[in-house]
Chains A and B, each alone.
Chain A
Amino acid sequence: MSGPLQLEVSDLRVEIASHRGVVCPIDGVSLEIAPGEAVGLVGESGSGKSMTLKSILGLLPPDAKVTSGSVVFDGSDLTRMPHSQLNRVRGRRIGMIFQEPMSALNPVMRVGNQIAEGPRVHLGMTRTQSVERAMDLMRRVGIPEPERRFRAYPHEFSGGMRQRVMIAMALSCDPELILCDEPTTALDVTIQDQILRLLAQLCQESGTSLMFVTHDLPVVAQVCHKVAVMYAGRIVERGTVQEVFTRPMHPYTLGLLRSAPDVDHPGHSLEPIPGSPPSLASPPSGCRFHPRCQFAEDDCKVIDPPLRLIEGDRATACLHYERTLDEIGADT
């Protein structure tokens, strides 16, 4: 895809000052999203994927700071924007969907009012107009009987219905981009599929781009065009979903793919990645994945590999990515 980028995260670095020194959960992350594109960001827990998402909208916890890099949206850097200006981007032009719809909805506010709030604040709608719009949105996300459900409280809804409310809230001001923080992790598998289809369909209809954070690889395959794999605060591989999932160029991606269950090969035993993610306070020298890597060489312990472009927009941060490709070739 070419043309103007909608969101460009360049070399983003986030630091958290703790009593044990400075921890760096995001260390030089670069990402780009073109209009209408759906990009997945995958990785283990603690790889910094949710943190990356939050730093885009300036929602980091108070002790975390963006120390370098930029998040450019429509020509301006969100990390350096004054608060009042940022509030005109949040919700209005970039929507966000959270993992736990129960805790992300205000328990003492009627769901209809929560959906209608965005249009009232950002689009200057009157009360009647915003209520009208909220009912319309509830219909679009598949909430039956919006006239009656409008006055309900979040606890009266099921998990799937709550996530539909979250989607309606994110869509309420027709944003250009929606950020999703593991939106289906808290849901039943059957509901997951419904929600993903709904999300993908709505984004396609309105041309909204999507950034999708998850640890669930099949979910990425279902929704996204492109994918970036994160490990220990860095992006280690990037490319189209098709490419990355069939021809991984980083041993970590290979490990993730092999540790995910596959319905088509039920006899296949899963291979977990040995070891556990490194401490961010003292990351390993060289390539951060080398202590867990089956292909690690001596140079992996010394050289800290940058993310380099291989072909088209395929990029990997592995010094010996050919070995991963060979491994895949040997498999099939």
Chain B
Amino acid sequence: MSAVSAGPAAAPAPAAARIRARGARWYRQPTLVAGLVLLAIILFMCYGAPLLTSFNPDTQNLLEPLVGVGRQGHLLGTDQEGRDTWARLLYGGQVDLRVAGLAVLFPFILGIIVGSLAGYFGGWVDAIIMRIVDIVVAFPFFVLVIALVFVLGTGEKSIYIAITAVGWVSYARITRGEITVAKRQEYVLAAQSGGLSSVRIITRHLLPNVITQSIVYAMSDIVQDILAIVTLSYLGLGIQPPTPDWGTMIATGQNFLTTQWWLTTIPGLAVVITGVALSLIGDGLADLLRPAAS
């Protein structure tokens, strides 16, 4: 690490001051900036795919299967059915990123709602919810997701349901812990003395104070979700052909690993680079929002 951000020694400031002061210089966080730039490039390439390739990702050309790199106008050659690999890579990214984004959003929302209720009300509500959380956590993530998709049937909707059903527990735990602490603050008592409803106190007063932890976690969670989606597709349980997707590309390409190694390696690299970009953003955000270290 050559670039170390050496900000001025900050006096102990209230949390909000810290967030605002640091928010004003987020661009000085090298990790965060690197991650954001990388992600911006990936998003541009995927969603700007029509600008970067003239091929349709689904058009088969059985006369030109397994064309080599750079031959006949195909930047990365073609697959066994003569489809342009570069086009499939870009359009496949659209699908994977969209599914991953939504697959992190649903458990995020569900987990925060459930965790807030458990943390704020405590008592038996908390006891029941946290026991359910314990049960879900006891299963390995991938095993439960794969089992659920297997039961629900393949396709995008099953992925959302399966990942939501398994993923919400982390957000519930984080939010519950944060709210359990935050609800003892005097501003919550003040809000109660103002006659505000519990829903309003949770949504307007508590969540804005505690949600950052969940957002940071979501950044690392989305990496796991991309891996899960690609894995499911690789196993034939996720995105179904002919819709392009990185997992399916890796799976079909591996038959030609000895001669056309890039068919598997390039989408694999795409997964890795996307994962790195999101991890960098997660780390950068965590650094940005962490209380000033002495």
- CB within 8 Å of B: which residues of A? 57, 59, 62, 86-92, 95-96, 98, 100, 102-109, 117-118, 121-122, 153-155, 166, 169, 179
B195 to A90, Cβ gap below 8 A?
yes
Interface check B25, CB cutoff 8 A: no
Which A residues are in CB contact (< 8 Å) with B15?
Answer: 107-108
Q: How far is the CA of A280 from the CA of B112 in the complex (A)?
A: 41
- CB within 8 Å of A: which residues of B? 13-17, 19-20, 122, 185-187, 189-197, 200, 204-205, 208-209
Say how far B127's CB is from chain A's closest CB, in angstroms.
14
Pick 17 A–B contacts, CB within 8 A, sort by A.
A57-B192, A62-B122, A87-B195, A90-B194, A95-B193, A98-B186, A103-B186, A103-B187, A104-B187, A106-B209, A107-B16, A109-B204, A117-B194, A118-B195, A154-B16, A155-B14, A166-B190
B186 to A91, Cβ gap below 8 A?
no
Top 4 A-B residue pairs of the complex, sorted by shortest distance between their CB atoms: A90-B195, A91-B195, A91-B194, A107-B16
Which A residues are in CB contact (< 8 Å) with B187?
Answer: 103-107
Say how far A36's CB is from chain B's closest CB, in angstroms.
22
B195 to A153, Cβ gap below 8 A?
no
Known: A100-B186, A155-B14. A107 touches B193 (CB 8 A): no
A108 to B193, Cβ gap below 8 A?
no
Q: How far is the CA of A92 from the CA of B20 in the complex (A)?
A: 32
Which B residues are in CB contact (< 8 Å) with A166?
Answer: 190
Q: How far is the CA of A265 from the CA of B214 in the complex (A)?
A: 60
Say how far B291's CB is from chain A's closest CB, in angstroms.
13
Q: Which of A95, A117, A122 has the most CB of B within 10 A?
A: A117
Q: Contacting B205 at CB < 8 Å: which of A87, A89, A103, A109? A: A109
Q: How far is the CA of A276 from the CA of B17 in the complex (A)?
A: 40
Q: How far is the CA of A102 from the CA of B185 in the complex (A)?
A: 11
A117 to B204, Cβ gap below 8 A?
yes
Known: A108-B209, A109-B208. A87 touches B196 (CB 8 A): yes
B16 to A87, Cβ gap below 8 A?
no
